[in-house]
Amino acid sequence: MTEPVSGPVTGPASRPVTGAAPEAVADAVPEPAADAAGLRARTRELLAAHPPATTGRTDFLKARFDAGLAWVHYPVGLGGLGAPRGLQAVVDAELAAAGAPDNDPRRIGIGLGMAAPTILAHGTEEQKQRLLRPLWVGEEVWCQLFSEPGAGSDLAALGTRAVREGDTWIVNGQKVWTSSAHLARWAILVARTDPEQPKHRGMTYFVCDMTDPGVEVRPLRQITGEAEFNEVFLSDVRIPDSLRVGEAGEGWTVARTTLMNERVSIGGARLPREGGMIGPVAKTWRERPELRTHALHQRLLDLYVEAEVARLAGERLRQQLAAGRPGPEGSGMKLAFARLNQEISGLEVELRGAEGLLYDDWTMRRPELVDFTGRDAGYRYLRSKGNSIEGGTSEVLLNIVAERVLGLPAEPRTDKDVAWKDLAR
């Protein structure tokens, strides 16, 4: 944990961070309801006090957060009740049955899956109080400023520099493959603060206001025709020290929390049976008997079984997670997710034949979220190619699984104790 910051969390020295700060609700929160019956009762009290049919969406979500029903495993006062993570399903089922709105988790997935658990694990109390509520409600979108043109798979080689001047850090550099940067208010950012240290040391983790002067977002057009990713240029961006997360020089430790959560959020998302890529293929198989062949039937069966195994393994993984502290097993889930998506989408294109090559919405769009299942088969096939790169390349994840899950010998690393400034680039 970091030392507390004095005063409110601020933006650049010229102005305070404003908007969406939570009301003081801690005194109004009763003792946590730590079992299923207590959570059901608490959820019904929320629904009675804020009927979804007559309560605005944002107002309902704020009330849900303040009642501790946003993510029940988080602490009291931060949207949770300190209850077991697995009991979230009890709350979600009650709210879904009542027609309550959700927080559009796909749109704010980076905030929910990566920024929030990192802030919870390493942030100051002021950071948690200011940032978590509008993040969960969806009032503020987040993005991730990690990868760089020369530091993608090897994140520790990043060269974006942050130099401290008093209580402010001046940041210069370039980031790339940044999803949602064109929508985001906040970013999680790792920058080099001590080039004299080896590459895994001398980095520091920050929260960056994407509306600040010096932040420039440019679209990157993808093979799908869209520009869902971006490159971000940082030119003399001023970040107050109160928005540093963790100790200076400990950015790699903090970033590992983000990366492990990212892999779980990508590869271990909760899905119903036939959720994800396998659903459209199974639907086409049932509805289009003229497309069936014996060889495709066998491949579909194999992939259906693998998809179901991966889905159930994801459920088990989520049950085993301590709040915000996933382990390297999430890398295995993300590996399976990437491989299955690519193989299933390839099967779908082959099943549809010439029809599978059609792609009706080849346009330069700036989407708010990635929609894998609500689009053409051709889109799914093309977009799935990125699954083995985003969130950690499959090659890197194979090393993680080999070393940290299976206990195999680590690859030799000759740059482990060399100062970053002396590395060949």
pLDDT (tens place) for every residue of the chain, 425 residues total: 333 333 333 333 333 343 444 443 334 444 555 799 999 999 999 999 999 999 999 999 999 999 999 999 999 999 999 998 889 999 999 999 999 999 999 889 999 999 999 999 999 999 999 999 999 999 999 999 999 998 877 889 999 999 999 999 999 999 998 989 999 999 999 999 999 999 999 999 999 999 999 999 999 988 888 888 899 999 999 999 999 999 999 999 999 999 887 766 665 566 778 888 899 999 999 999 999 999 999 999 999 999 999 888 877 776 665 444 566 777 778 888 899 999 999 999 999 988 888 776 666 667 666 666 677 888 889 889 988 887 778 888 888 888 888 899 988 888 888 898 888 77
Q: Give the C-alpha separation, 394 to 332, whole Å.
A: 9
Instruction: Spell out the residues 6+ positions from residue 178 whose beta carbon is closer than 8 angstroms to its own.
Output: 143, 144, 145, 147, 187, 217, 229, 230, 231, 232
Tokens of 191: 């920058």
Q: Which single residue is written with the structure tokens 């940041």?
A: 171
Exposed, middle or buried: residue 303 (CB in 10 Å: 0-12, 13-18, 19+)? buried
| pLDDT at residue number 373 | 66
Q: Is residue 62 within 8 Å of residue 12, measured between CB atoms?
A: no
Q: What are the strands, taking DSSP E only, across 130-264? A: 142-145, 161-165, 168-175, 186-192, 203-209, 215-220, 229-240, 244-245
Q: Give the C-alpha separation, 213 to 317, whole Å.
A: 41
DSSP single-letter state for residue 10: B
Selected catalytic residue, list 226, 228, 231, 262 = 262
The count of other CB atoms within 10 Å of the CB of residue 28 is 10
Tokens of 131: 């940032």
| pLDDT at residue number 394 | 86
Please report how many Cα atoms fall inside a 13 Å half-sphere around the Cα of residue 75, on the Cβ side.
Answer: 13
Q: Give the C-alpha separation, 134 to 38, whole Å.
A: 26
Known active-site residue 226: no
Tokens of 21: 């700060």
| pLDDT at residue number 21 | 40
First and final C-alpha spacing in the chain:
33
Total residue count of the chain as it appears in this document: 425
Domain locations along the chain: 255-405
Please name which of 81, 17, 132, 85 lies closest in space to residue 325, comparing C-alpha atoms: 85
The count of other CB atoms within 10 Å of the CB of residue 394 is 17
Amino acid identity of residue 395, one-letter, is E
| pLDDT at residue number 274 | 86
The count of other CB atoms within 10 Å of the CB of residue 36 is 15
CA 140 vs. chain centroid, Å, equals: 14
Q: Which CATH architecture has domain 255-405?
A: Up-down Bundle (1.20)
Exposed, middle or buried: residue 279 (CB in 10 Å: 0-12, 13-18, 19+)? middle
Tokens of 164: 């401290």
Give the CA distances from residue 309 to residues 141, 312, 336, 404, in Å, rounded to whole numbers and listed in that order: 32, 5, 10, 22
Report phi then psi at 377, rounded to 5. -60, -35
Q: Is residue 112 within 8 Å of residue 186, measured between CB atoms?
A: no
| pLDDT at residue number 4 | 32
| pLDDT at residue number 224 | 84
3-state secondary structure of 189: strand
The count of other CB atoms within 10 Å of the CB of residue 220 is 14
Q: Which single residue is written with the structure tokens 């020290």?
A: 241
